[in-house]
Amino acid sequence: MSTSSVQAGLPLSTIPIFTTVQAYREWRQNAFLDQKTVGFVPTMGALHDGHLALVKRSLAANDLTVVSIFVNPAQFAPHEDLATYPRTLPNDLALLADLKHLPSPSSPPRTPSALFLPSVQEMYPSGISQEVGRQSGTFVEVKGYGEQMEGRSRPTFFRGVATVVTKLFNIIQPTNAYFGQKDIQQGLLLRRLVTDLHMAHPAPERLHIVPTARDPASGLALSSRNAYLSEAERRTAPALYAALQAAARAWDAGESKARCVRGAVDVLEAAARAGAAEGVEVKVDYVEMNDPGTFEVLGEEARREEAPVVLSAAVWVGRTRLIDNIVLGDTRGMIMG
């Protein structure tokens, strides 16, 4: 395998870069014949410690690890931030090149094996419009699982996610795939997809959801979109996680869903008042509790002593939309330990 990759328009990289499906397939075929396991971390780039935590999990559990960077037009609505979404490829490559895992003291260290970096044309051979009504070609939809929570605020988001991840799984053919808990609905919806479509790579139980990486001091969930925040907004943003924690404490104290959600909104409203003094506008999009199996919204008076519940929220901080969630109750089999 080549140790460097120099391609037209691409930065120098110690990790082999594949830009076409065909070139990747040859590499993957050899891995199959060698009976190597392949871990996969799909990303939209602008890598941060949350992504790196996923890659580390993959390095530890697989012979080979593939990372993809693809900003997927189909999951952005026309009014959303496709054009301004942060693109930091040289930095992404440097971060990935620094990752190492030692399977044992005597083994050579494992590093990311390949980066898949396709063009929009390569991923969407029939072309792609951000306007659903003007799209043609093949799309995948997980009915009944994409209309709540994030899907309610972003109606065609999960259709775009389901479509691009189906393509990526068919291309990469991973033994294991890793997703962050920050996008928990995405992870659970993709498990449904992999089950329903009977995908062989990955098998449903090989699609892993890894706990959200957070800023150690404030608890703010790491996100590529944090790069949009001004300094004052950055000081306000941790209120999102604080709000979820307040609701979780209320839940643990035996309160109803309605009171837990009220507790979270109180924290966010206090942050909004404090932020206003600094010129920061905070707007709550939603705070909700859902069943992790069906995403069904819990009733206002709901209490579940045993079954897990997803507590999630989205807020606008200035012009940046941030999401976060925590799982209440028993998360076994749902989130990686």
List beta partners, residue 311: 289, 326
Among the options 48, 51, 201, 208, which is catalytic? 51
Q: At what angle do helices 239-252 and 257-277 cross, to 10 degrees?
A: 150
Task: Tell how far CA 309 is from the center of its chain.
Answer: 19
Name, in order, each residue with C-beta under 8 angstroms of 143's C-beta and a sequence gap of 6 or more.
none
Q: In what order do the strands lie in the sheet with 114-116?
A: 17-18, 114-116, 64-69, 38-43, 176-180, 207-210
Check if 51 is active-site: yes
Q: Provide the minimum distance between the beta carbon of 299 and its own copies in the complex, in angstroms, as a whole number.
A: 20
Q: Provide the minimum distance between the beta carbon of 151 and its own copies in the complex, in angstroms, as a whole number.
A: 13
List beta partners, residue 312: 288, 325
Q: Is the alpha carbon torsion for 320, 71, 40, 160 positive or negative?
A: positive
Task: Report the distance separating Cα 19 and Cα 34, nearest Å.
Answer: 23
Q: Provide the minimum distance between the beta carbon of 78 and its own copies in the complex, in angstroms, as a whole number.
A: 17
Task: Report the distance separating Cα 98 and Cα 197, nearest Å.
Answer: 36
Contacting positions for its own copies (CB under 8 A)? 21, 25, 32, 123-126, 135-145, 162, 166-167, 170-171, 173, 192-193, 195-200
Nearer Cβ to its own copies (34/231): 34
Task: Mark 223-249 as b/e (b = at least 16 C-beta within 10 Å).
Answer: bbbbebbeeebbbbbbbbbbbbbbbbe
Q: Provide the minimum distance between the beta carbon of 86 and its own copies in the complex, in angstroms, as a whole number.
A: 26
Q: Provide the minimum distance between the beta carbon of 163 and its own copies in the complex, in angstroms, as a whole number.
A: 8
Name, in order, each residue with C-beta under 8 angstroms of 270's C-beta and a sequence gap of 6 or more.
239
Nearer Cβ to its own copies (171/334): 171
Nearer Cβ to its own copies (84/136): 136
Residues with catalytic function: 51
